[in-house]
Amino acid sequence: MNTSSPNLNLYQNDETFDLQFSSRIQKLSKIHWSPLNIIKVAATFLAPQPGSKIIDIGSGAGKFCIAAAHYCPEAEFYGIEQRKNLYHISQRLKKISGLSNVHFTHGDFTEINLKDYNGIYFFNSFAENLSSYGRIDNSIQYSPSLYNYYANYLYKILEEKPIGTRLVTYHVDENEIPTSYRLTGSGFDQKLKLLIKH
Ligand SMILES: C[S@@+](CC[C@H](N)C(=O)[O-])C[C@H]1O[C@@H](n2cnc3c(N)ncnc32)[C@H](O)[C@@H]1O
């Protein structure tokens, strides 16, 4: 639910939405933040009924959660982000948006209880451990072993989720996801995948 009148113009296109960010964060958008057309499809799939609770694993500057909360006002969107500066940016965006169905936490996703959510959004958040191309910054340690640790942790969590759990991946290889998740749709050159646990 919204607490104040939303500025609908913000959601017209990515350029307009991204103007809310500093120029450094805007420059990262093409590689690291989900585009609005992806967010709209993903959020609609992840929130099939009012009250759905969705977590964005690695919420960055908050773009997915904020836009998703705008498109699906009956659902609650949660973001967990390891970088404190990005967490602060997402909190600022939340304030500007006037949305009350979006929530951000600072921390590592392995530290929170993922049992509470019936939908998960995952934009290949651990990839920066494998490739130095276009990294967000140098504020954290990167390593292939950290990638494996996070990827295995998430795989196990996904395996333990109940039947019916909805998952959307963006730029994620299918062998990173347990086979119990069935593909129900894909698009944007197969980069976006809509899955349901069976
Ligand atoms: C590709 S960005 C996606 C941002 C956002 N989900 C979006 O779509 O706009 C991935 C984010 O995941 C964060 N991240 C990576 N590993 C993480 C971890 N273990 N715990 C929490 N956040 C993490 C990174 O800091 C980065 O901000």
Domain boundaries, the chain: 8-197
Q: Would you say 58 and 125 are in contact if contact means Cβ atoms under 8 Å apart?
A: yes
pLDDT of residue 1: 44
Strand order in the sheet with 102-106: 102-106, 76-81, 53-57, 119-122, 166-170, 192-197, 181-187
Smallest CA separation from ligand 1 atom 1, residue? 32
Q: Is the CB of 80 under 6 A from ligand 1?
A: yes
Per-residue model confidence as pLDDT tens digits over 108-163? 999 999 999 999 999 999 999 998 888 899 888 899 999 999 999 999 999 999 99
Q: Is the CB of 109 under 6 A from ligand 1?
A: yes
Smallest CA separation from ligand 1 atom 26, residue? 60
Q: How many beta carbons lie within 10 A of that of residue 14, not counting itself?
A: 20
Q: Is the CB of 32 under 6 A from ligand 1?
A: yes
Q: 86 alpha carbon to ligand 1 midpoint, in Å?
A: 9
Per-residue model confidence as pLDDT tens digits over 16-64? 999 999 999 999 999 999 999 999 999 999 999 999 999 999 999 999 9
The two tokens of residue 175 are: 């062998």
Per-residue model confidence as pLDDT tens digits over 72-89? 999 999 999 999 999 999
Q: Is the CB of 81 under 6 A from ligand 1?
A: yes
Dihedral sign (CA 41, 43, 46, 52): negative
Alpha helices in the chain (DSSP H): 14-18, 23-32, 36-46, 63-71, 84-97, 144-160
How far lies 86's CA from each of 62, 91, 160, 176, in Å? 8, 9, 29, 26
What is the CATH code for 8-197?
A: 3.40.50.150
pLDDT of residue 8: 67
Q: The tokens 């913000």 sit on which residue?
A: 10
